[in-house]
Structure 1
Amino acid sequence: MPISRGSFIVSTLLLLLLGLVALAGVVASNVWLVQRTQSLVVEVQQMRRLRAATVDFRSLLQDLETGQRGYLLTSDPTYLTPFRAAMQKLPAQIETFERAAQVDPVARQLAPDLIATAKAKMAELQQTVDLTEAGQLAQAVDIVRGDTGKELMDRARDAFAAIIEQAEKRLLAINAEQASSANALWWVSVGGGLLVLAVTVAGMATIFVYLRQLAATRREIEELNASLEERVRERTFELGRANDEIQRFAYIVTHDLRAPLVNIMGFTSELEQSVATLQGFVDRHDGDENTPDLEAVRLAAREDLPEALGFIRSSTRKMDGLINAILKLSREGRRVTKPERIDLPALLNNSAAAIQHQVTEAQGEVTIDARVPSLVADRLSVEQIIGNLLDNAVKYRRRDEPLRISIRATTRPGGLVDIAVEDNGRGIDPGDHERVFELFRRSGPQDQPGEGIGLAHVRTMARNLGGDISLKSTFGQGSVFTLSLPAYPRAVAGSVAA
């Protein structure tokens, strides 16, 4: 089933999201397990310190008891050396044990009684040693034979054993927890890695399928483009042939129309001569007796015939102008454009200079802002377009204020050049903005000579150059005609030197 662009994006985003969630879960689980392992390591160290402190505490207390017994039995002062060493170390060891016991609730509970018992035992042992050194061995032996010392030592041994056993149990539990954490870490890492791998494989498979689909689509498009280019060439050839036929037809029609028009104009001239002869005859018999027939002849010779000939002459001139316009358009359509590099500022200045005398008579001015140094186009077509727009700006100016014409040339994205001709003339009604570009159509008062082919001719030339022309105008305030042309037409960009 083909993958649409939307489903591809959705599935890819879902897979990425799933992969991110899986990766985040793996990372979070690993961080938690590592932190747990670190806390267990710290606890192991604490329990080991507690066990070591307890064992050392017990050993010192046993050393103390051993030295005391040896001295009492032998009265040998050498047994006092380990006794005194143990007695000196015990206070510091008790403090060490007391600090270590705070990490375990059982040890923390037993520690106060154990320390008190140990101190009592130490006092009992110190007393017997002091009595023996004072020569009171019998009294010291009596103290030893009593149950107080034995009870204290037994109670201390029980506490030591309980604390050490608790530490051993806790260490075993911690080892089990560490093993469980390591096992969980392994499963999370492997499971998460497999999940991420599965998501990655699924994503790569989706991308691969989509790319194969794109490649197949591209091949289809290339095949279609190849056939389309062929069809375009065929259609272009057919259109060109049809256009040539239309131009030949227009030329033939206008040529054939000119022949009867010339005849009409010739016969009109002969009629004018005949009318002049008739008028001379009427003038010579102006004093004769008036008769209805003679009065009708005078009226026809002096009014009716001259008026009718005037209408005929005016119509033939208009028809001659229209035929000439059609011939001009036909010849322009057959003219082969010659693209060349044009110095645009110089061309605009020359076009403005051609109408400068008319602008001066209208007390106006022309300003030029050419920000485009050059473009490649047919020079004659560009000159005719700009010249026609400037002529219209002068022809359709407002009589109540000085004429102002502004010419601007700028570039815009897409390799296009815009040449805008702005004036402060009559302006064009919005409803006529498109109509003024139609053949033989004009806008506003018809108080200026013309056949209505200027702007139609301008649009035809602009499109022949690969561009177009647009209009923005407000009635009574002026107009802006913008000619848009490619700076470097594709057909000639490679052949025109940069």
Structure 2
Amino acid sequence: MKPTGIWNADLGRFAAIASHDLKAPIRAVTSFAELLRTLYALHLKGRGLTYLAQIRINGYHMERLVDDLLLYSRAAVASRAFAAVDTATMVQNVLTRLKPDLGDGVTVTLINLPAIQGDAVQLDRLFQNLLSNALKYRKPDPLQIVIRAQAGPGHTWQFDVQDTGQGIEPEYHQRIFQLFARLHPREVDGTGLGLAICQRIVQHHGGDLWVESTPGQGSTFSFTLPRLPQGA
């Protein structure tokens, strides 16, 4: 059996090469579609402009899909050493980036978020994906999101990201973590990889990720992450 370190290196190189080779033709297609729209918009009828717009939309979606596949593959690769991560500061930074999507009627409360041991880049993506998910699947009512931490099993912290959104039917509680799983393929934009990436990141940190949800009332995504070593 190939050693884990060599396997991770091979996986990382494959992901990088695949990303470059896939994204290059996608960018060419979207660039030429944009060029055609710029140069010949006056000569195209409504249907022609609609077709060009659809090419661009699908091209950008495909590019995001390749990016998410790359993130998913890299989430299992031990590239950076774990270090101390202040999750309170990290979540505040994520909320700053998501500010355009928050809008009115969204309240986010942080409770007892500790410093932990982990990969800061991956954990930033974990919190961003979970918060983005809560914002995507909100109801017309005001949305409340609570992120809290408490002592978990063993030497871990358990984090809960709770929202008052649409909720998830029980039969989908496991399926949503699978690759390309999308419960609302047309209504909500996305690649179907967000929660799969979250699960991969948590597993890379030796933890577990699960959901408890009631349709119409909201969802709570919970996961465990390692505590800082004593004296750190």
* TM superposition score normalised by structure 2: 0.81
CA–CA distance in 2 between the matches of 1:457 and 1:391? Answer: 13
Q: Secondary structure at the match of 2:128?
A: helix
1:365 equivalent to 2:130? Answer no
CA contact (8 A) 1:427 1:479 kept: yes
* Distance change >3 Å, CA 352–CA 409, structure 1 → 2: farther
CA contact (8 A) 1:275 1:306 kept: no
Q: Secondary structure at the match of 1:386?
A: helix
Q: What are the within-5 Å matches in structure 2 for residues 313-392 of structure 1?
A: 313-330=56-73, 332-334=75-77, 336-348=79-91, 351=94, 359=102, 361-362=104-105, 364-370=106-112, 373-392=114-133
1:373 to partner: Cα distance: 4.5
CA–CA distance in 1 between the matches of 2:53 and 2:103? Answer: 36
CA contact (8 A) 1:410 1:418 kept: yes
CA contact (8 A) 2:75 2:122 kept: no
1:481 to partner: Cα distance: 0.3
CA–CA distance in 1 between the matches of 2:58 and 2:101? Answer: 29
1:317 to partner: Cα distance: 2.0
CA–CA distance in 2 between the matches of 1:309 and 1:353? Answer: 34
> 1:398 maps to which residue?
139
CA–CA distance in 2 between the matches of 1:403 and 1:261? Answer: 36
1:421 to partner: Cα distance: 0.8
1:433 to partner: Cα distance: 1.6
1:248 to 13, 16, 39: 13
Which structure 1 residue ranges, 5 or more long, are not aligned? 1-234, 280-300
1:457 to partner: Cα distance: 1.5
1:308 to 46, 51, 70: 51
Identity across matched positions, percent: 32
Farther-moved stretch of structure 1 (249-258 vs 450-459) = 249-258
Q: What amino acid is aligned across from residue 458 of structure 1 in structure 2?
A: C
Residues 114-135 of structure 1: per-residue CA shift (max 9 Å, x gap): xxxxxxxxxxxxxxxxxxxxxx
Q: What amino acid is aligned across from residue 19 of structure 2 in structure 1?
A: T
CA–CA distance in 2 between the matches of 1:311 and 1:356? Answer: 28
Q: What amino acid is aligned across from residue 422 of structure 1 in structure 2?
A: Q
CA–CA distance in 1 between the matches of 2:31 and 2:97? Answer: 37
CA contact (8 A) 1:418 1:483 kept: yes
Greater share of helix residues, 1 or 2?
1
Q: Secondary structure at the match of 1:361?
A: coil
CA contact (8 A) 2:8 2:78 kept: no
* Distance change >3 Å, CA 422–CA 239, structure 1 → 2: same
> 2:194 maps to which residue?
454
Q: Secondary structure at the match of 2:52?
A: helix
* Distance change >3 Å, CA 398–CA 265, structure 1 → 2: closer
Q: What amino acid is aligned across from residue 245 of structure 1 in structure 2?
A: D
1:471 equivalent to 2:211? Answer yes
1:444 to partner: Cα distance: 3.1
> 2:169 maps to which residue?
429
1:359 to partner: Cα distance: 4.8
What is the root-mean-square deviation in Å for CA atoms of aligned residues? Answer: 3.0
Q: What are the within-5 Å matches in structure 2 for residues 284-299 of structure 1?
A: none
* TM superposition score normalised by structure 1: 0.41
CA–CA distance in 1 between the matches of 2:183 and 2:163? Answer: 16
> 2:23 maps to which residue?
258
CA contact (8 A) 1:462 1:469 kept: yes
1:255 to partner: Cα distance: 1.8
Which structure 2 residue ranges, 5 or more long, are not aligned? none
CA–CA distance in 1 between the matches of 2:162 and 2:204? Answer: 23
1:354 to partner: Cα distance: 5.7
Higher relative contact order (CA 8 A, sep 6+): 2
CA–CA distance in 2 between the matches of 1:343 and 1:273? Answer: 47
1:330 to partner: Cα distance: 4.5
Equivalenced residue count is 232
- Give the number of the structure whose alpha-carbon radius of gyration is greater: 1
CA–CA distance in 2 between the matches of 1:243 and 1:366? Answer: 37
CA–CA distance in 2 between the matches of 1:497 and 1:382? Answer: 22
